[in-house]
Structure 1
């Protein structure tokens, strides 16, 4: 056995010979050269290569490059998550606005029997939070299979790499949009006087 190759982020299924790859590049040169150097000669070799314009790094440099590639995949997954949750958010917002608009007579009846505008809004805020939480959980569950597919296609790993803060920000933004949509729908529905609204068809 000469080597074991594990497909990394963004690489294809096959590894080609160096000569074949160089023939299909613009410069015809290798991007990296790996060298094994004795510990006592490391500084001397590093200085000699640096004088000739080479960028010298140890294993940590390769680890940083791998981390950068993983970060790029994380952003790709994040964009996919944004698209999926965006579609779900649009559907949830439309449903909330339409459903709230159809409850105008219910709001009018509540106000005629003594409920204030603030009490109606408070009830709708609680409903909005419940709907937003359920929508966010549902959205994340729906987004998992496509993200696993993207991750398997890019890195061969089933667990997608996602920036935690970015993911939480997107999920929070989707929930906030649902709350704003319900707030706007509630205010628009209560513009009409209750006595006029209760008699409408």
Structure 2
């Protein structure tokens, strides 16, 4: 189970880092039209948190449906017990991972001068 979680974490971090890095030209364009670094980073954090909230609700819903079907077949009851502390810990770990995987590449992308980053070919 730990290996599956580790591979999933690597895939999520890799995807978020690549998508943020690929947007470096867009981020530079935002800087050219007047956005500050702080505003761009805040926008990226809000995007990440929005994706996280949607993912948590979708993942929880899918998991509850799957667990209720499994529970009904195994015990006759559709109610599953999910430890609240464990659930909160998983969400907190995923949120921290997602925010770090977005913030670090964004900070690196924002280091370049906006005019040079917009003019660079990708």
TM-score normalised over the length of structure 1: 0.50
The partner residue of 1:173 within 88, 93, 102 is 93
Unaligned 5+ runs, structure 1: 1-81
Flag as ranges the 4+ runs of structure 1 deviating above 6 A: 82-88
Alignment match, 2:118: 198
- TM-superposed CA distance for 1:163, in Å, is 1.3
Higher RCO (CA-CA < 8 Å; seq separation 6+):
2
Unaligned 5+ runs, structure 2: none
- TM-superposed CA distance for 1:128, in Å, is 1.6
Alignment match, 2:19: 99
SS in 2 for 1:176: helix
Q: Deviations over 1:86-121 (max 9, x none)?
A: 776655444322221111111111212222211111
Aligned residues: 121
TM-score normalised over the length of structure 2: 0.76
8 Å CA contact retained: 1:136, 1:175: no
RMSD in angstroms over aligned alpha carbons?
A: 3.0
Structure showing greater radius of gyration is: 1
Alignment match, 1:122: 42
